[in-house]
Structure 1
Amino acid sequence: MSPKPKQTARSAALNLLNQVLGEDRLMSELLGQGVLQGLDPADRARAQRLATDTMRGLERADRLLQKHLRKNPPLYVRNVLRLATVELCQGGDAHGVVNEAVNLTAANKRTQAMKGMVNAVLRKIAERGPETWANLRAPRLPKWLRDPLVMAYGGDVVGAFEAAHFAGAPLDLTAKGDPEAVAQATGGEVLPTGSVRLQDPGQVSALPGFEAGDWWVQDAAAAIPARVLNAQPGEAVLDMCAAPGGKTMQLAAAGAEVTAIDLSPARMERVAENLARTGLKAELITGDALDHTGQYDAILLDAPCSATGTIRRHPDLPLAKDGSEFGALMDLQAQMIDHALTLLKPGGRLVFCTCSLLPDEGECQVEDALERHPGLKVDRERFDLPGIDPEWITEEGGLRLRPDYWADKGGMDGFYIACLTA
C-alpha cells in the first residue's frame, strides 16, 4: 500500500474549496474542526489565504477557464484549476503552480486521466491569464443576495460593496489600553474610530503585544457597538451573544461588571482563552440568552444574523449559503430584542447590532421594535463619537456601516447598530 501523499498548503486549500463548494460548509466551521492542524503555522496560513483568494476570485477564474474547457470537469478538477488560475494570475510561479496542480489531479484515482488536460489548460492560463485577469469586473454576489441588496441600496452602491469584498480586508486590532502605543509597536495605523489597522500583518500570534494581551483582533466596525454602549466602571452589563469575545473584552476593559452569555460551548471556550490572554474578567455563562434572567444597567445584543456584512473577510459565505435560513434568524432577532428589554433596569440602555447588510436585520428590526414597545426610543446622541460620520445615521435613528466606507483605507465590515432606551 503506497503511503498517503504529504499534505501541502495547496492540497489543504483544495480540501477547503471542495468542502465549501461541494458540501456547503463554512470555512470557519472547518477551521474550528482542525482541518489544517496537520500543517505548520506558515503553511496553515498560506492554505487559508489560497482558499480565501480563490473564493474571492471565483467568478474571474471561471471566466478565464471557460475559454479553454469544452465542458465542465468534475468539481474536484474544477477546483484544482480554479486554485491554480487564481495563484497564477496573482503572480505565482508558473512551474510550481502547474506542476502541483497536475500532481493533485493525478493523486485522485477518479481524475488522474485528466492530468494532461489540466497541464495544457494551465499553461495557457499562465501565458495570458494575468493580463486578462486585471481587466475583468469585480466578482458579483450571487443573485439570491445581490437582488435584495440592489433593491435596498441601488446597483452602484452594491457594485462598491463587491469591489470592497474582492479587495479583501486588512487586520484590525482593538487595544486594551492606548491605541497609539499598539500602532507604534505593530507598525499599524490608528483609524478615526480608535481601532488599529495593519495592512500586511503576517502571523497574528507573532505580533508584538499578542502574548502580553495588549490587544485583540476585531474589525473596526465590530468595535463600534461597545463604544456606542459606553459601559461605565461598576455598571452591570450583559453581553448577550458574546462569542468570540471582542465586545466582552471591550466592556471589561472599560471597568464594567460583565456577564457574557453564548449558546456554543466551543465558542465560549474561546472567549475564556481571550479573557485569560488579556488579563480581563467577565462572568461566562454557556446557555440560551432567551432563558437568561437578571437586571442590567446596559446590554449589548450582537444578534445571530446572516453575517452578510463580513463577506470581505469571509468570501465563502455567499458560496455556502442560499439565504433559506435568514427568515428564522430575523424572527430570532425580534425575540432577542424583546427579551433583552425585560432585562434592563429602569433608565437602562440596549445596543442592538447585526453584522448584516440586509435592512430586514437592522433598520426594519428597530422600526418593528418601536411599534411593539410603546415608549421605546432610539438614542441618536450615542453616535456622537470620533470617526462616526453623521451621514451614516439612518432615518429611524440607527447607524448603518458599509464595506465601501473608508475604501481608501481598506473598508470595514457591514454593520447595523442602534441604541434603544425604554
Structure 2
Amino acid sequence: MTDISQSLATRAGVLRLLAHVLRDGRMLGDGASGLDGAAAARALRLAGLTLRHMGRADALLAGRMQRQPATRVRDILRLALTEVFEDGAAPHGVVNDAVALARMSPRTAKQAGLVNAVLRGLVDDRAAWDALPPPSLPPWLRKPLAKAWTRPRLEAIEAAHLRGAPLDLTPKPGVTVDGAEVLPTGTLRLPGGQVSALPGYSEGDWWVQDAAAALPVRLLGEVRGLRVLDLCAAPGGKTMQLAAAGAKVTALDVSARRLERVAQNLARTGLEAEIVEADALDWAPDAAFDAVLLDAPCTATGTIRRHPDLPHLRDARDVEALTALQYRLIDRALTFARPGAPVVFCTCSLLPVEGEHQVTAALGRHPGLTAEAPEPADFGLPPLAVSPHGLRLLPDLWAERGGIDGFYMAVLRTPA
C-alpha cells in the first residue's frame, strides 16, 4: 500500500468516525472499525481534533460558500482545515487527499472541484484561523453554565476545552515517572504520549486518571484497613486508589462489561478488590461500610476537553434523567455507611444541578445530615475551587499547568 493510499484510508476512517458521532449519535471511541494499529490511533486522534475545532472550521468556511455543501463534503473540509492549522500537516497533501476523498463517493464526486477551490483559498490564511474564537458549547449547556459561572468564566471554560488535555497519571505510593510534573494533588502530569509505552505501565506502577478524578478519594483521608464501598466503580480508577492506600475495597457497578475493565486494571496493577455486579438501588450489603464513595452517573460534561464528542451526544433530556438517578443513588449510598462515616458524592459535570444542587437537596431531606466543606488549599487548589458544601473544579483552573477536568465533590455524614 502506498503512502497516499494509506493516508486516504486513514482520512476516510476519520470521516466514518465523524459520521458515527454527528449522524449516528454514538461515542467516538465506539466507531474505530476498518482500521487497526497506528492508522486507527491516528484516525481517532484526528476525528477528536476535528470535533474540537469544528465550530472554527465552520466559521471559516461560512465566508467562502454561499450554501452548505453535502454533509460528507462539509466533513472533508472540516478535517482538512483542522489538519493544516492544528495538526501541522502539509497543505498540498491535505488538499490532494481531500479532493480524492470527495471523488471516492458518487454522491460527492461532483463537488470535488468545490473542495479544491475552497481549500486552496483557505489553507494559507493562518491569520484568519488564529483570529477565530473558541467554539461555543451547545445552547442546552451554555445557557445554564453562563448563569452559574458568569459569561467570562464560561468563555474561559470554552477556551480550555479548545486546548485539550494533558496526560494525567495516578501513581502508587512512592512511584515517580521521569519527565512528569508532580501536581499539588499528587497527580503526575505529562504532555501526552502512548500510554502503554510509558515506563511503569507493564509493572502496574500507575494508571491514567485526571487530577480532578483523583481528588474524591483523598477527601476520605486515611483509609488503610477500612472497609470502603466504591459505587458505580467502573473503570476502576478510584478503586485502585483505595486499594493502593490499603483499604478493603468493594467495587460495585451495574455493568458486567464495565466491570471487566475494573478487573483488568486491578490485574495490571497487582491490586485487590471485591468486585460486585449489581444495581446499587437494589443491592444490600452484609454489613455497613466505614466509608462510601459515589461517583454518580452524570452528563460527563466536565470531561469535554478530553471527549469533544460529548456536546454532540447529550442534550437537556439527559440532564433530567441523570439528576433523578443521582437523587436516588445519594439516598441509597447513605444507607450503606455506618453512622457518622463519610460518604463522598461526586460527579464529573459542569452543571450545578448535578453537583451543588444535589447536595443542598440531600441536606434538606435528611435531618441531621451534614456536608463538610474541604479547604481547597489542603489539596493545592486555588480559592476559586470553593463551592457550597464541597469543591468545585472547572476546566479553566490551573490553566498555566494545562487545566483540569470539571468536577464537583462533597463529603456527607449521617449522625453518629
For this structure pair, what is the TM-score category when the shorter chain's length is used for normalisation? Answer: over 0.9
Give the paired residue count: 406
User: Given residue 309 of structure 1, which amino acid in structure 2 is its aligned partner?
Assistant: G
Matches of 1:419 and 1:104 in 2, distance apart?
53
Matches of 2:257 and 2:94 in 1, distance apart?
37
Quote how far apart the aligned CAs of 1:389 are.
Answer: 3.3
Quote how far apart the aligned CAs of 1:258 are.
Answer: 0.5
Q: Does residue 1:12 correspond to 2:3, yes or no?
A: no
Match of 2:73 among 77, 94, 102: 77
Match of 1:316 among 304, 309, 318: 309
SS of residue matched to 2:305: coil
Q: Does residue 1:108 correspond to 2:105, yes or no?
A: yes
Matches of 1:94 and 1:139 in 2, distance apart?
23
Quote how far apart the aligned CAs of 1:208 are.
Answer: 0.6
Quote how far apart the aligned CAs of 1:45 are.
Answer: 2.3
Matches of 2:396 and 2:98 in 1, distance apart?
35
Quote how far apart the aligned CAs of 1:323 are.
Answer: 2.2
2:219·2:374 contact (CA, 8 Å) conserved in 1?
Answer: no
1:228·1:382 contact (CA, 8 Å) conserved in 2?
Answer: no
Partner of residue 162, structure 1: 158
SS of residue matched to 1:65: helix
Q: Does residue 1:120 correspond to 2:120, yes or no?
A: no
Q: Could you tell which deviates more after superposition, 410-419 or 386-395?
A: 386-395
Written as runs of structure 1 = structure 2, the 5 A alignment for 1:259-274 is 259-274=250-265
Quote how far apart the aligned CAs of 1:13 are.
Answer: 1.5
Quote how far apart the aligned CAs of 1:202 are.
Answer: 1.9
Partner of residue 63, structure 1: 59
Partner of residue 379, structure 1: 372
Matches of 2:99 and 2:347 in 1, distance apart?
43
SS of residue matched to 1:220: coil
1:305·1:355 contact (CA, 8 Å) conserved in 2?
Answer: yes
Quote how far apart the aligned CAs of 1:9 are.
Answer: 2.6
SS of residue matched to 2:23: helix
SS of residue matched to 2:229: strand
Partner of residue 40, structure 2: 44
Q: Identical aligned pairs, as a percentage?
A: 53
User: Given residue 12 of structure 2, which amino acid in structure 1 is its aligned partner?
Assistant: S
Match of 2:90 among 89, 93, 97: 93
SS of residue matched to 1:131: helix
Gap regions ≥5 residues in structure 2: none
Matches of 1:330 and 1:99 in 2, distance apart?
48
1:88·1:125 contact (CA, 8 Å) conserved in 2?
Answer: no
Q: Aligned in 2, Cα 1:124/1:408: closer, same or farther, shift over 3 Å?
A: same
Quote how far apart the aligned CAs of 1:149 are.
Answer: 0.5
1:308·1:414 contact (CA, 8 Å) conserved in 2?
Answer: yes
Written as runs of structure 1 = structure 2, the 5 A alignment for 1:149-228 is 149-179=145-175, 181-182=176-177, 184=178, 187-199=179-191, 201-228=192-219
Matches of 1:388 and 1:141 in 2, distance apart?
26
Q: Does residue 1:146 correspond to 2:137, yes or no?
A: no
Q: Tell me the C-alpha RMSD between the 2 structures.
A: 1.6
Q: Aligned in 2, Cα 1:391/1:167: closer, same or farther, shift over 3 Å?
A: closer
Matches of 2:147 and 2:314 in 1, distance apart?
20
Quote how far apart the aligned CAs of 1:321 are.
Answer: 2.0
Match of 2:246 among 255, 258, 280: 255
Partner of residue 348, structure 1: 341
Gap regions ≥5 residues in structure 1: none
Quote how far apart the aligned CAs of 1:383 are.
Answer: 5.7
Matches of 1:330 and 1:381 in 2, distance apart?
23
Matches of 2:404 and 2:148 in 1, distance apart?
19
Q: Does residue 1:370 correspond to 2:336, yes or no?
A: no
2:18·2:47 contact (CA, 8 Å) conserved in 1?
Answer: yes
Quote how far apart the aligned CAs of 1:37 are.
Answer: 6.5
Matches of 1:141 and 1:161 in 2, distance apart?
10
Quote how far apart the aligned CAs of 1:98 are.
Answer: 1.1
TM-score by length of 1: 0.93
User: Given residue 398 of structure 1, which amino acid in structure 2 is its aligned partner?
Assistant: G
Quote how far apart the aligned CAs of 1:390 are.
Answer: 4.3
